[in-house]
Chains A and B, each alone.
Chain A
Amino acid sequence: METIIGKYNYWIYIALMMIGFYAMIAKRNLVKKVVGMNIFQTAIILFFISIAYKRDATIPILIKSQEVINPSQYINPLPHVLMLTAIVVMVSTFGVALAIIMMLYNQYKTLDEDEIIEILKKK
């Protein structure tokens, strides 16, 4: 019980990841696949933010008057910074994927994967 409730954010990350993964594999609509991909990536952000968290800690801003710095009082800022970069990567992947979906729609006039494969088979 302790491992489930005490670490619930990690369980949510796994659940989100599996939802995203399922959408990428099982959904036939291309936009849904891309949204699944985004959920998959968001799960990783949650994971990284979770590992930075410490109980009863505050944001990592150094106060000058404070003489002794105790690292356990501050949340680790590095994973947050890494995730800023990862968000940029994610947004650009999403952008490229949507652009390609637009190209596919212009070609086939449908966004359903099965229908596209049907059209390809006919030719």
Chain B
Amino acid sequence: MNLWEHSSILIVVTPLIASIVNIFISLLKRSLCYPFFVGILGLCSLLSIDILSVVTTSGTIRYKLGGWTPPWGIEYTVDHLNAFLIIIISIISFIIAIYSKESIKKELTKARLPYFYSTYLLFVTGLLGITITGDIFNLYVFLEIASLAGYALIAIGERRSVLASFNYIIMGTVGACFYLLGVGYIYIITGSLNITDLSRLLPSLYESKVTLAALAFVVVGIAIKIALFPLHRWLPDSYTFAPSAVSAFASATMSKVGIYVLIRIFFTLFEPRFLTDITPLSNILIWWATVAIFFGSIIAIGQTDFKRTLSYILIAEVGYMVLGISLCNKEGFIGAVLHILNDAIMIACLFMIAGGIFYRVGSRNLEDFKGLGKSMPITMAAFTVAALSMIGIPPTGGFFSKWYLILGATKAEQWISVAALVFSSLVNAFIFFKLLEKIYFSKKEVIPKHNFRELPLSMIIPITIMALTILIIGFYSGRIISSLIRFTVPEGF
């Protein structure tokens, strides 16, 4: 039996089974859990690289579960866009797993560690499942697996994280239920749940009101899950009080996966013309996203807590990506997909650094950043790179995706959206330059007496890798677009 043929199912099943096995291992010997956990995520990364290489050489993978042919059976479809997201999720989860060793040890009691690893693996299962499945109901199940694991992971954080997690449960469940209702309406008119099959059946039903209701429910449901303003209320508290490894991982992947679901719904399930000509959804979403960008940026200025600042910046970034896909032109779409990659890495890197500062200094307050440039030089160098990328200064990755987004908005003649993108860059520049000034140039007498050292090696290495990746993506963004993202652009653009 050739195992590589089955890599698209193995990548979902491996972390799922491992999360249960992990509990049994913890009963035998607790110290074995961590190597097992990292090993499994390493295996997932290898599988994702294999999937990517298969997709780029021989096209879309269609894996029939249990040999049942679609539309009756569940089908796993992997094209360029899926492979792109799978590789982002599995590699970021692997890097943050390495990082989590020290940071989580400080934030959790020892007896809880195996459960943390198991829940983390379940979270990875859910996210990979969402990106790999070709069935809209199966997608709902994976969405809930990921969300449930997310609720639990957030609740194990600081004292106040429990209430944040509870609010997230209430909001997240409404989102998932709306999505499920949308699936129900799609099922009523088509009698199918397979995405490929639906894309064939739906075009003749575009005039039906049921289709419109279905689309409205699905879009609002996913908008709650990705925290698109004004449905963002659960996000800042959750990501501020969650353990730092969890905030880094969840912020980097959960919203990106939601954006992926939106892309699938808009451009695979429906056609671009449905958004632009038949319904005014494209225009509505452009305005919605523009408001989200303004809102996220403005609120981010006033925060004193570093993780909360990042959460609001994330809300603005979600606006970027929704704007990119709803512009319905090639440049905007490329910008959005490239920004999925860039933003995942930037925000993960910044949250990891926030966790690192919390690990040494014990505070997330922006005032306590003073003089850290001397005591933690490598971490702060990585911070500088991530911050420059967040602002969008070449040659970092963030510049190129923002450039494409602005090109797309200009082409669509959405001048207010262009203004929003520029405004958000200026706000990021304001926030991060102020921080960089505190870190490197604050006067000596202000520095409190401390002898903070550099972070332990298992935290430094993942942070450095992330920062270097930001630069590498910046240098090779042309190649990433021509060899991968070009193929994800839907027909009709």
Which among A53-61, A62-70, A78-86 touches the partner chain?
Answer: A78-86
- Chain B residues near A44 (CB, 8 Å)? 177, 180-181, 184
Q: How far is the CB of A80 from chain B (nearest CB, A)?
A: 12
Once the chains bind, are A96 and B187 in contact (CB under 8 Å)?
A: no
Given contacts A44-B184, A96-B151, contact A104 B166 (CB under 8 A): yes
Once the chains bind, are B184 and A48 in contact (CB under 8 Å)?
A: yes
- For the complex, is A97 an interface residue (Cβ under 8 Å from B)? yes
- For the complex, is B163 an interface residue (Cβ under 8 Å from A)? yes
Once the chains bind, are A92 and B148 in contact (CB under 8 Å)?
A: yes
Q: How far is the CB of A12 from chain B (nearest CB, A)?
A: 15
- For the complex, is B165 an interface residue (Cβ under 8 Å from A)? yes
Once the chains bind, are B144 and A82 in contact (CB under 8 Å)?
A: no
- Chain A residues near B166 (CB, 8 Å)? 30, 97, 100-101, 104
Chain B, interface SS category: helix
Docked pose: A33 CA to B170 CA in angstroms: 8
- For the complex, is B323 an interface residue (Cβ under 8 Å from A)? no
Docked pose: A97 CA to B177 CA in angstroms: 16
- For the complex, is B65 an interface residue (Cβ under 8 Å from A)? no
- For the complex, is B20 an interface residue (Cβ under 8 Å from A)? no
Which among B152-160, B195-203, B376-384, B394-402 touches the partner chain?
Answer: B152-160
- Chain B residues near A74 (CB, 8 Å)? none
- For the complex, is A15 an interface residue (Cβ under 8 Å from B)? no
| Chain A residues within 8 Å of chain B by Cβ, number | 28
Docked pose: A100 CA to B170 CA in angstroms: 12
Docked pose: A86 CA to B137 CA in angstroms: 10
Q: How large is the interface on B (under 10, 10 to 19, 20 to 34, 35 or more residues)?
A: 20 to 34
Q: How far is the CB of A47 from chain B (nearest CB, A)?
A: 6
Docked pose: A48 CA to B187 CA in angstroms: 9
- For the complex, is A41 an interface residue (Cβ under 8 Å from B)? yes
Given contacts A97-B166, A100-B165, A104-B162, contact A47 B184 (CB under 8 A): yes
- For the complex, is B174 an interface residue (Cβ under 8 Å from A)? yes
- Chain A residues near B173 (CB, 8 Å)? 37, 40-41, 93
- Chain B residues near A97 (CB, 8 Å)? 166, 169
- Chain B residues near A92 (CB, 8 Å)? 144, 148
- For the complex, is B484 an interface residue (Cβ under 8 Å from A)? no
Chain A 110-122: CB-based contact to B (< 8 A → 1; otherwise 0): 0000001000100
User: Across chains A and B, which 9 residue pairs bring their CB atoms closest together, nearest first?
Assistant: A89-B144, A103-B162, A97-B169, A100-B166, A104-B162, A37-B173, A51-B188, A100-B155, A96-B151
Residues of A within 8 A of B (CB): 21, 24, 30, 33, 37, 40-41, 44, 47-48, 51, 78-79, 82, 85-86, 89, 92-93, 96-97, 100-101, 103-104, 107, 116, 120
A-B contact pairs, 11 of them (CB 8 A): A21-B174, A30-B166, A33-B170, A40-B174, A82-B137, A97-B169, A103-B162, A104-B162, A104-B163, A107-B162, A116-B163
